[in-house]
């Protein structure tokens, strides 16, 4: 994947994450979850059979930032096909489907492992509350 394609994917993904968080902030019942969620997450976007674009999401004190690269110290690491992650954030794919289904490369749609600070399965379980849009009624 060339540099311009990586930059375009990064900018698209960053906009999606920022929009999801902004949308969630419109609902007062989400404020406590968004403000209290603290994590450093390495996110691998599995874009080609042998290439993963690494980003990191840092949430501290209600402030969220997405940057390029891997963090040395992190709480959780996830790897997913960008398309599957988009379907996850818009609520089309459930957490169960992400954990058990296969992506186009034959790997799990959402692969995860603990970070340098421990297994942090609670962080993994809280992630959908932060990154997944609520269903509109």
Residue 95 phi/psi, 5° resolution? -60, -40
The string of pLDDT tens digits covering residues 57-100 is 999 999 999 999 999 999 999 999 999 998 998 889 998 999 99
Helix, strand or coil for residue 115? strand
Q: What is the mean pLDDT of residues 13-22?
A: 93
Per-domain boundaries in the chain: 3-131
| CA angle, residues 72, 75, 80, in degrees to nearest 5 | 90
What pLDDT shows up at residue 118?
Answer: 75
Q: Say which residue the tokens 């404020």 belong to.
A: 31
**Which residues pair with residue 54 across a beta bridge?**
44
Q: Where are the beta strands (DSSP E) in 7-126?
A: 39-48, 51-60, 63-68, 76-80, 110-114
CATH number of 3-131: 3.30.1050.10
Q: Which of 6-10, 30-34, 80-84, 127-131 has the lowest mean pLDDT?
A: 127-131
């Amino acid at each position: 994947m060339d540099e311009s394609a990586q930059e375009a994917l990064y900018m698209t993904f960053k906009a999606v994450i920022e929009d999801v968080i902004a949308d969630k902030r419109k609902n007062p019942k989400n404020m406590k979850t968004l403000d209290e969620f603290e994590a450093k997450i390495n996110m691998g976007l599995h874009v080609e059979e042998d290439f993963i674009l690494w980003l990191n999401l840092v949430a501290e004190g209600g402030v969220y930032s997405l940057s390029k690269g891997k963090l040395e110290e992190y709480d959780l690491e996830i790897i997913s096909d960008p398309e599957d992650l988009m379907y996850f954030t818009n609520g089309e794919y459930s957490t169960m489907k992400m954990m058990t289904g296969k992506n186009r490369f034959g790997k799990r749609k959402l692969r995860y492992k603990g970070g340098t600070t421990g297994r942090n399965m609670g962080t993994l379980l809280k992630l959908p509350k932060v990154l997944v849009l609520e269903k509109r009624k």
